[in-house]
Amino acid sequence: MTISDNPPKDSFRLSQLLYDTRYRSMTIQVIAFILLMLSLSWLVSNTVQNLQALGKDFNFGFLSQPAGYDINQRIIDYDSQSSHGRAAIVGMLNTILVAFLGCAVATVIGVLVGVLRLSKNWVVSRLMAVYVEALRNVPLLLWIVVIFALMTEATPQPRDFREGGSASMLFGDTVAITNRGVFIPKPIWHDGSLILAAVFVLSLVGIWAFRRYARKRQEQTGDILPVLWISLGLFFVPTILFYFLLGRPVTLEYPELGGFNFQGGLQVRNSLIALWFALSIYTGAFIAEIVRAGILAVSKGQTEAAFALGLRPNRTMNLVILPQAMRVIIPPLISQYLNLTKNSSLAIAVGYMDVRATLGGITINQTGRELEGMLLLGLFYLTASLAISSVMNVYNNRMKLKER
């Protein structure tokens, strides 16, 4: 009599797709995928039939047609004879500009307010609490309109800057704040400006490399290098030195009052300033609570141990508390950056020409391509959100606690 070491295998049965845990999850996923594809195919088919009933087709040829409208705030060259595609690009760049500026300022405000909310000074902590509760409990749209109204009603008119008028320019007659916007010097690029820009970029790379070296040296030896002063030197000295060596390749065009408005310089419209400032202070209030929660998540024993080693409060916050709190702060901070980017679509309330006003507004009204326009608009916001999430997730992975 022989004994087999390999027991006979059961044959596959269809019932295993539902009752066998080895196959059940795969079965559910396949069924869900099939249902999703059927729903999408029905949606596409229904959309095509409705377009045919209206005498329309689905194409993006309208992007090459002349736009026929002006954009008041733009980064790249554009006029009314440019195409709808270029108008959409100008709107996208305007959205990216206000989103980048808003995220940067909101982060600074949020970190400062979040730290100050934990101050032992009762007045300071209460003032920061009032700021947070007042900002985040009032709709963002209202703050945008209020700030825009202040910028247009509480600032002087250009004619008030005439000789003997009630207003005067700032910073040596180089900046003018008016009800039509803020006029600042405009850089004029000459030969050698690309070299100067390359030197500036290399200075930033040098600052990053030095700060990284200083951090590693401090972790290994405990020596603290003067990071701030060396970073400031790398930031200013090479660029200023090459600026004079290259014969001043960048000059400034200053705004001057001519007629009924300022001529020359660079005009930053009140709509951009109002939207930027409102997004910054509104989102900064939420970031402040995130920062406060992250700091409170760090054990008090960490602070006490740092004080016992003789570290001052500011160094304790920078070297001990915040690095540990960042693991708690970064994930919800990503959501706030995404919210700020999408909330920038409220720019239409104050006339700032972002992608919602150009591609998702005027272009759709003129061409009648509402489906194509909204698809492109949604694709832009999706791409921007995924890009922000990807960058921040890379930073989040770097800040994770690494066990020895």
Residue spans per domain, the chain: 84-159+269-398
- pLDDT attached to residue 299: 84
Spatial contact of 61 and 385, defined as CB atoms under 8 Å apart: no
Q: Is 172 left (phi over 0), alpha (psi -120 to 50) or beta?
A: left
Q: pTM above 0.75?
A: yes
| Radius of gyration of the chain, Cα coordinates, nearest whole angstrom | 29
- pLDDT attached to residue 328: 86
- pLDDT attached to residue 401: 63
- pLDDT attached to residue 161: 85
Neighbours of 284 (CB within 10 A): 27
- pLDDT attached to residue 344: 93
DSSP conformational letter for 254:
P
- pLDDT attached to residue 29: 85
For the four alpha carbons of 329, 335, 340 and 346, in that order, the dihedral sign comes to negative
- pLDDT attached to residue 10: 62
Per-residue pLDDT of the chain (404 residues; tens, 9 = 90+): 455 555 555 676 777 777 777 777 788 888 899 999 999 899 888 887 887 787 777 888 889 999 989 998 888 889 889 999 999 999 999 999 999 999 999 999 999 999 899 888 999 999 999 999 999 999 999 999 999 999 888 888 888 888 777 788 888 888 989 988 899 998 999 888 999 999 999 999 999 999 989 888 887 887 878 888 999 999 999 999 999 998 899 998 999 888 778 888 888 999 999 999 999 999 999 999 999 999 888 888 888 888 888 888 877 887 788 888 888 899 999 999 999 999 999 998 998 999 999 998 999 999 888 888 899 999 999 999 999 999 998 888 877 766 55
- pLDDT attached to residue 258: 80
- pLDDT attached to residue 318: 78
- For domain 84-159+269-398, the CATH architecture is Orthogonal Bundle (1.10)
Q: Is 253 left (phi over 0), alpha (psi -120 to 50) or beta?
A: beta
Judge residue 337's burial from the number of C-beta atoms within 10 Å of its C-beta, 0-12 exposed, 13-18 middle, 19 or more buried.
Answer: buried
Contacts of 298 (CB under 8 A, 6+ apart): 320, 321, 324, 325
